Amino acid sequence: MFELYKAECRRFRWWALGAGALHAGTLLFFDRVVDPLQQPAMIYELVAAIYAGAGVLLGLFQAGSYARINQWIALLHRPLSPRHVLVAVAGGSATMLAAAVLVPIALLLVGHDLIGSRFVDTRHWLLGFSGLLIALTGLMGGIYAALSPRRYGWLVLIPALLPTVSMAVGWAAVAVQAGVLVLLALLVASVFKPDLAEPPRTVAGLGGTAIAAAMGAYLLLVVAGDLVFQTLWIATGTHPLNGMPPRGGVTEATRADGAVLMEAGLAGRQDDQARIWREQVRLSEVFGVTPTIKWLPVRGELTNAAPMEFDDERRGARWTFSHDDMRFHGVRLSDGAALGTLGVDGGFEAPPLPIDGGRLIAGGSLFAFDTDDGAIHRRIRLPAGETIVAPPSMVGTTLAVTSNRALRLYDARVLDGNAGSDAPLATVPLPAPVGGLMRLDLIELLDGYLVSFTYARGGVDGPANAWQQVVQVKGVGPGQLVSGRPLTPDFPFVTRFAPYWISPALNVARDLAENAGGGAVPMAEREPVRIPLSIWIAAGLLALLSAAGAALLARRRQLGLRPGAAWTLATLALGPPMLLAFWLIRPTRTA
């Protein structure tokens, strides 16, 4: 076994040396031009795709060269079990791939820490392990694609894309990647057998393959089905996102001018006060407040929501935030000399996100960097349990700050520390969880504000309810609801709830897998989706029909009572995706 392992290492040693040298040279070059550890998430995603692609190509080449019948017989005709042969062969390519990926990243991190006064956080070392796991996952995927039957192997690989949509951060993200790698390695072991055309022979291998294929079929039906449907809809010229949207719908509300939207929100009232408000809307400037940003920094995350740094042009300094000590580390731009650290009294409650104007948001506080004294000062502190979820916006002479609980309006002088107090001029509690808030518009009245909340995230082509509320605000007290209206979904009922009626069980499994290790994310807070009774009935009928189809298919293939019952029950639980997996896998009576 060890000799076979060494032979595989020797086989790929020059490829590994060349790829590693190219990898190291590229990383070290970029380290001299930019700070590779402070790039936005999309850069890391691009690099991860390159690692995964390299692993896939290596796996396809290695396993593909052995998968020919003569080479396959010669490989397995050894005094070793197929599992030991797999460990030796895959272990050799994995070792060379690890050297080409991990060593250059380690050199980058060591060199980064030694150049000038740059620092490396603990989370940055995790990037190396993450890159290695992604590359090895690609390797296992390539091997599986080369050895598995073509009719279903590609479907089994779709769930391996889970890390691309996972909400996990830090160590949890590494754990998710490691879990996917382990499961994929087990699937590779199930196809590493003398007869490559047959499905796995063991119960565990066949069961794992069936579940993975069913999840792949489910994702394909949901995502690809929606894409095909929308493409055909666009071709007809009636798609609401590609032309004049229907009146009273979600798309119209999200695109409308602020004044038009507020008037539509007040249309349900015909009293004198409502007519006065509509007139004020026509005459006043309607301010749009940015409701939320996509992602807030989380301590220990592998990537960055945005570069965690800002420049002090007056002193020629750059301040970069460290997750380890929760302070900014300064570097002089001219020569890279260290300038010490910079923090705030009481410390940052969360990693700060730099925004325009030298300001930072971190948890429930707004900070500002003062170029005069070179220090960071806290300007606004929200009540405990609240998190600022959007960059502050100017609303006339006031400052609007949106948290996960309320909209607050402040004297704009609070940004300069000249307001005398950071107490809000007005507070408007959000009518629902902030994750569903798509638009926030308001006007100034003589005695307060008129605020329009439009909740439509997940309601354009998804199952969430969409609606608009208009609230009158006077001072710091709670606002008074003056009008509201539901927004009509623009997409068909069937497509909006497709993930639920196709397979409720797989939909729950997908949600659990995507959210595992994600922690509390304010923008993920939403109202529970209300599933209509008709959707549950449709899902039940589809499951029953699929189970009947599985029973007939099992009888036709003469699987026997116990295997046939197992496939039928699995199809009853998971619905049409499992029936599709059963049809493609084609288990035999002895499987």
**Residues 381-436 pLDDT 10s:** 999 889 999 999 888 888 999 999 999 999 888 888 777 677 888 888 999 999 89
Section 207-228 average pLDDT: 92
DSSP 453: E
Centre a 10 Å sphere on the Cβ of residue 1 and count the other Cβ atoms it contains: 15
- Average model confidence (pLDDT) for the chain? 87
Choose the weakest-confidence range: 157-166, 176-185, 314-323, 510-519: 510-519
In order, the DSSP letters of 57-89 are HHHHHHHHHH-SHHHHHHHHSSSS-HHHHHHHH
| SS (HEC) of 280-344 | HHHHCCCEECCCCCCCCCCCCCCCCCCCCEEEECCCCEEEEEECCCCEEEEEECCCCCEEEEECC
pLDDT grade for 225, boundaries at 50, 70 and 90: confident
Residue 167's pLDDT band (boundaries 50, 70, 90)? confident
Give the pLDDT confidence of 505-549 residue by residue, as tens digits: 999 999 888 888 776 677 788 888 899 999 999 999 999 999 999
What is the C-alpha to C-alpha distance for residues 39 and 31, in angstroms, rounded to an integer? Answer: 11
Angle at 118 between CA 312 and CA 314, to 5 degrees: 10
Residue 475 has pLDDT above 70, yes or no: no
Confidence of residue 454 (pLDDT cuts 50, 70, 90): very high
Which pLDDT band holds residue 345 (cuts at 50, 70, 90)?
Answer: confident
What pLDDT sits at residue 388?
A: 92
Is pLDDT at 352 greater than 70 in this prediction? Answer: yes
pLDDT higher than threshold 70 for residue 462: yes
Contact 189, 86 (CB under 8 A): yes
How far, in Å, CA of 586 to CA of 197, rounded? 10
Asked whether the predicted pLDDT for residue 589 surpasses 60, the reply is no
SS3 letters across 372-397: CCCEEEEEEECCCCCCECCCCEEECC
pLDDT the model gives residue 201: 82
Q: What is the pTM (predicted TM-score) of this model? A: 0.88
pLDDT, tens digit, for every residue of 289-316?
Answer: 887 787 888 888 888 888 888 888 888 8
Quick check: 118 pLDDT over 80?
Answer: no
- Residue 7 scores a pLDDT above 90: no
Residue 176 near residue 166 (C-beta atoms within 8 A): yes
- Contacts with 245 (C-beta within 8 Å, 6 or more apart), sequence order: 251, 252, 255, 490
- Tell me the average pLDDT across 68-91: 74
101-106: average pLDDT: 92
Between CA 496 and CA 225 the distance in angstroms is 12
pLDDT above 70 coverage of the chain, percent: 95
For the record, the structure tokens of 341 come out as 């650290």
H or E segment and range at residue 355: strand 353-355
The DSSP annotation for 206-233 comes to: HHHHHHHHHHHHHHIIIIIHHHHHHHHH
pLDDT at 12: 85
Angle, CA of 424, 425 and 431, to the nearest 5°: 75
The 8-class DSSP code of residue 403 comes to B
Q: How confident is the model at residue 70 (pLDDT cuts 50, 70, 90)?
A: low
pLDDT of the residue at 519 = 64
Per the listing, tokens 């190219």 go with 22
What is the model's pLDDT at position 117? 64
b/e 248-267 (16+ beta carbons within 10 angstroms → b): ebbbbbbebebbebbbbbbe
3 state SS of 29: helix
Rounded CA separation 97/9 (Å): 10
Looking up tokens 């699937």, which residue turns up? 187
Name the burial class of residue 30, with classes exposed (0-12), middle (13-18) and buried (19+) by CB atoms within 10 angstroms of its CB.
middle
User: Mapping DSSP to helix (H, G, I), strand (E, B) and coil, where does residue 119 land?
Assistant: coil
Cα-Cα-Cα-Cα dihedral sign, residues 402, 406, 412, 416: negative
Q: How many whole angstroms separate alpha carbon 468 and alpha carbon 267?
A: 11
**How many angstroms separate the Cα of 120 from the Cα of each of 36, 41, 325, 568?**
11, 17, 11, 54
CA–CA distance from 201 to each of 76, 346, 544 (Å)? 17, 61, 28
Among the listed residues 172, 179, 170, the one whose alpha carbon sits nearest the alpha carbon of residue 124: 170
Is the pLDDT higher at 243 or at 61? Answer: 61
pLDDT computed for residue 157 by the predictor? 92
* Element (DSSP H or E) covering residue 275: helix 272-283
DSSP-based helix, strand, coil % in the chain, nearest 5:
55, 15, 30
Q: Given the structure tokens 């691009």, which residue do they identify?
A: 46
